[in-house]
Amino acid sequence: MPPAPWAGACGYGNLYSEGYGTRTAALSTVLFNDGAACGQCYKIACDRKVDPRWCKPGVTVTVTATNLCPPNNALPNDNGGWCNVPRPHFDMAQPAWEKIGVYRGGIIPVMYQRVPCVKKGGVRFKINGHDYFNLVLVTNVAAIGSIKSMDVKSSDSKDWAPMARNWGANWHSLAYLSGKMLSFRLTNSDGQTLEFNNVVPSGWKFGQTFASKLQFN
């Protein structure tokens, strides 16, 4: 199922309503890692040692990975093909970019490191799709921010069933789960596992979002 054009390659949709705001970035192919980096946070600073002309000194900005910056293999990596393999590149939302760079600079050299994500409240689950195709968007993930695996268990089963990454931060199950009370089990990219027991009540409808009280640390 391809992403909706407004949703971005991570599938978060409206970044404001999902709590990501303007501190966001699209990652180049090598950093995006087929969606495995969705939700990760990076602290970024302009690298004045490479070119100080376009840097705002002494400041950093922390952004969340919410999209893919697609490669342009018709252009060289250092002249237009900024997001080509193997180049790391952040295509940042303008308000975030202007925290560290002078607007006229365009492409600026940066230093970056992955940092823990800080979130308010628990992990959230939005269920889209239809009968026999349950597409669950996982958002508001703290700590490393990204999810490595996801399982689901319905109220009429004792067993966890694996879900598959569909695209970005969306995971799908082909089981018939409509209206059943659901639990989810998430393992983040650092290997921490949390069980969200009965986080989705019976009688739910497609399009609804359910907030948990659990969060990664």
- Residue 95 has a CB neighbour count (10 Å cut-off) of 12
User: What pLDDT is stored for residue 105 in this prediction?
Assistant: 87
Helices (H), ranges, 77-212: 94-97
* pLDDT > 90 in the chain, percent: 88
Per CATH, the number for 24-115 is 2.40.40.10
d(CA 204, CA 202): 6
pLDDT tens-digit series, residues 19-34: 899 999 999 999 999 9
Give yes or no for residue 77 having a pLDDT over 70.
yes
- CATH code of 123-212, in short, is 2.60.40.760
* Model confidence pLDDT, tens digit, residues 155-184: 999 999 999 999 999 999 999 999 999 999
Helices (H) and strands (E) in the chain, counts: 2, 13
Provide the pLDDT for residue 7.
64
pLDDT for 3 beyond 70: no
| pLDDT-based confidence at residue 16 (cuts at 50, 70, 90) | confident
Sign of CA dihedral 43, 48, 50, 54: positive
| All structural domains of the chain with their residue ranges | 24-115, 123-212
Confidence grade of residue 4 (pLDDT, cut at 50, 70, 90): very low
Query: What would the pLDDT profile of 123-166 be if each residue is shown by its tens digit?
Result: 999 999 999 999 999 999 999 999 999 999 999 999 999 999 99
What is residue 19's predicted lDDT score, i.e. its pLDDT? 85
59, 189, 168, 165: which is closest to 116 by C-alpha? 189
